[in-house]
A and B are shown apart, each in its own frame.
Chain A
Amino acid sequence: MVEPDIHDHPIHAEGALLPWYLNGTLREEERRHVDQHLSSCAACRAELDELAQLNVQLHEVYAAQSEPSSQIQRAVLAQVQREVSEKGAKPVTGSAWLNGLDDWFRSLFIPRWAPALAVTLLVAQLGLLLWSLTLPALSDQVTTRGIGAPTVRLRVVFQETASERQIRVLVQGVHGRIVDGPALDGAYIMEVPAGDRIATQKKVDALRSQPETVRTVEPMTP
């Protein structure tokens, strides 16, 4: 749309500001300038009177206009409550696209098909349980994982004050690993590569040389 510029029309520049003089939003400097102009311009004073009269009429019209239905308010406020419940009451700051990204990620975890998926998983789990009941009973024998090469087992009790890191370093130092425990007395079973009897004794001695970590070490008889 192209409208003629206000300066092309035979009204004063101050007259063009009168609607905002009336609604009280002119800057102080502009307002004083319009005040000065009005004191010497009858045409603009008449224009201001006319605008004031129109202003009253328009307010009456706008105040009497229809309102939206209460349904829209209920729907919007319910949606807001849902979002508060889903996201918690933490402040959301940042740009709109970040909020949009956040919404998108959250939607991945709150898919509309979640209830259907949950039912499917429950049915699958039930099927798996029934199928497992038809399998022959497994042996009660408990086995431990081997480390491939021949190994020897040591029964180790660590100091109560030993840290997890100290124990890990110690175990790695003898190329061993914990394969069982703790027993009621706090003992662990450690498996170390089997060499000859002297090599095994060196590992036992190495462990015993760390009394701040190891309380007792005993080779287990095969």
Chain B
Amino acid sequence: MDATHWHDVSDPDLLAAVAGRDAAAFERLYQLYEKRVYQYVCTLVYDPTLAEEVVGDAMMAVWRGAGSFSRSSRVSTWIFGIARHKALDALRRTGRHYHDVALDEALELPNAQESPAESVNRKQVTSLTQLALQTLSQEHQEVLRLVFYEELPYEEIAELLSIPTNTVKTRVYYAKQRLKHQLRQLAQDERV
């Protein structure tokens, strides 16, 4: 039975098959999550080589520990949780740090009247957004990805990051404010 057999299977059922030592089910799960886990880990370690190493460790931990998945959260939250632990371990091992958000930089007030995206074309907006994202702290990049790309509920983000749900809401709010500010700044620089 190859990985294509598992194409229409839900993530929890896929993980249950992995717990039963089904290598084809694991291959399918790997295909579904490799890129997402890698990009998430990149927001934490900022090093593509180290990120690949973390992805390998994390996915092997998924293979070996699939039986411990309790179905109390999404499979994605569980996998990202493993990847996050592996990433933080790797940062500790290599003597690097996971940077905190500078509070004073996060206290930008919203300005709903301005939309920096209006003055530049779509490609430029993507490029600017990429640049703006890179100026954010790791924690802000992390929550933005978890909310907007991984589409996780705030309760599961709180569980994943081991922080209260209110802190999740606050962090996302300030991350979005900071990103908006940076986009506006970059758009102005482009015009100049």
CB within 8 Å: A-B pair count? 159
Contact A80 B126 (CB under 8 A): no
A43-B112, A57-B129 in contact; A62/B20 too (CB < 8 A)?
Answer: no
Of the candidates B35, B65, B153, the one whose C-beta lies within 8 Å of that of A99 is B65
A20-B147, A58-B144 in contact; A9/B173 too (CB < 8 A)?
Answer: yes
Q: Is A161 an interface residue (CB 8 A)?
A: no
Contact B117 A80 (CB under 8 A): no
Q: Is A119 an interface residue (CB 8 A)?
A: no
Interface digits, B51-74 against A, CB 8 Å rule (1 contact, 0 not)?
Answer: 110011001100111011000000
Q: Which partner residue on chain A sits nearest B66 by CB separation?
A: A92
Chain B residues near A4 (CB-CB < 8 A): 103, 107, 170
Of the candidates A11, A17, A57, A67, the one whose C-beta lies within 8 Å of that of B125 is A57
A1-B101, A6-B169, A72-B55 in contact; A96/B64 too (CB < 8 A)?
Answer: yes
Of the four ranges (under 10, 10 to 19, 20 to 34, 35 or more), the interface on chain B belongs to 35 or more
- How far does the Cβ of B176 sit from chain A's closest Cβ, in whole Å? 7
Chain B residues near A25 (CB-CB < 8 A): 151-154
Chain B residues near A67 (CB-CB < 8 A): 34-35, 38
Q: Which partner residue on chain A sits nearest B149 by CB separation?
A: A62
Please, could you name 25 A-B residue pairs with CB atoms under 8 Å apart, sorted by A?
A3-B103, A6-B169, A16-B173, A17-B154, A19-B172, A20-B153, A22-B148, A25-B153, A50-B180, A55-B148, A57-B125, A58-B129, A58-B148, A62-B145, A67-B35, A68-B52, A71-B52, A72-B55, A75-B56, A77-B26, A77-B27, A77-B30, A90-B21, A91-B20, A92-B67
Which residues of B approach A to under 8 Å, CB–CB?
19-23, 26-27, 30, 34-35, 38-39, 42, 48, 51-52, 55-56, 59-60, 63-65, 67-68, 100-101, 103, 106-107, 110, 112, 115, 117, 125-126, 129-130, 133, 139, 144-145, 147-149, 151-154, 166-167, 169-174, 176, 179-180
